[in-house]
Amino acid sequence: MDNLDNLAKKLEIGLDSRSTAELIQLALSAPEEDDDYSNERWHFVGLLQRRGDREVLDRALGLTESISIEERSLGIDILGQLGIPERTFPDECVMKLIELLNREFDPLILRDICIALGHLNDPRSIEPQLKFCFHPDWEVRYGVVSGLSGKEDERAISGLIKLSADVCPHIRDWATFGLGTLIEVDTPAIRDALYQRFLLEDSQDEETAEIYDEALAGLANRQDDRILPRLIAQLMSDDVGKLAIQAAEAMADDRLYPALLHLQTWWEPTCIYLEDALLACKPQ
């Protein structure tokens, strides 16, 4: 399927006869209602990224030096995934973005740079982003979370641990997801950061419930038995979500089995999640 997708993308690029300059102008003039990558602007950005030749690189580099925020943002977005699915000029892209990060001041541009660096996945980009972990603008801190997530470098993990205690729930949510699910590294520091969120986030509050859930998933994946009492209470309650059942399966602890049997008496009878959890936790 990947090969077919790549072929379709190449055909799309080959059939598009518009010049790079035209595609850039179309991207700049397209409405951007939100951050949805499926909107019209991102359609043209994607065409430019997949074209990924020297001309696109040079044009994008030029855009990043514009006095226009919109043009700088477009150049940065192009550089972040230039050449996808097979990256082109990654070194030039990384070095330019790091250079911009060291001299930009606009919060939205700083956010875009960090997100772009995250796509490039180059260890040289980690250190320059860490100084923005406590930036006063939450958009910048969100960019840092995005830029550091999915990386098993100790410096990136340390940054995410700091951001998992951010004052903004949105930042805490993504940082907790980055620590708990996007990496498999298991250290006492990661567990303690996740456990703090497990203890402090309100699982009944709409704004923080997802953070609690991400912490629960991360701790269950690492089989941290500190979550057992609260997880058993959840499974015995009359309000049980699928995530709690999946956490029980990940724990594979027979102490959860009685609670799962109780849940079986009223939960969806054909729920595959519950069947898997029961099998994983069944006493040997």
DSSP for 160-201? HHHHTT-SSHHHHHHHHHHHHTS-----HHHHHHHHHHHHHS
Query: Does the pLDDT of residue 172 top 50, yes or no?
Result: yes
Cα–Cα distance for residue pair 34/28, rounded to 1 Å: 14
pLDDT, averaged across the chain: 93
The stretch 157-178 carries a mean pLDDT of: 98
Return the amino acid letter for 23. L
- CA separation, residue 170 to residues 157, 165, 284 (Å): 18, 11, 42
CA angle 80, 49, 92 (to 5 degrees): 50
Model pLDDT, residue 126: 98
**pTM of the entire predicted model:** 0.89
Question: Structural domain boundaries of the chain?
Answer: 1-121, 149-222, 227-284
> Predicted confidence band at 9 (pLDDT cuts at 50, 70, 90)?
low
The pLDDT value given to residue 210: 94
For residue 31, the model assigns a pLDDT of 84
In this model, does residue 12 exceed pLDDT 70?
Answer: no
Q: Which amino acid, residue 197?
A: R
Q: What is the largest CA-CA distance in the chain?
A: 67
Q: What kind and span of H or E run contains 264? A: helix 257-264
193 pLDDT tier (thresholds 50, 70, 90): very high
Q: Please write the tens of the pLDDT for every residue from 227-255.
A: 999 999 999 998 888 899 999 999 999 99
pLDDT tier for residue 199 given thresholds of 50, 70 and 90: very high
pLDDT classification of 1: cutoffs 50, 70, 90:
very low
Flag whether pLDDT at 101 surpasses 60. Answer: yes
Q: What would the mean pLDDT of 9-22 be, rounded to a whole number?
A: 74
Tell me, what's the pLDDT at 66? 97
Distance between CA atoms of 142 and 80, rounded to whole angstroms?
16
Distances 54 to 82, 90, 141, 158 between C-alpha atoms, Å: 10, 12, 32, 36
Return all residues near 47 (Cβ < 8 A) that are at least 6 apart. Answer: 12, 13, 16, 23
Res. 4: pLDDT tops 90: no
pLDDT digits over 126-151, tens only?
A: 999 999 999 999 999 999 999 999 99
CB–CB of 244/214 below 8 Å? no
pLDDT value of position 7: 47
Amino acid, single-letter form, for residue 180 = G
What band does 162 get if pLDDT is binned at 50, 70 and 90?
A: very high
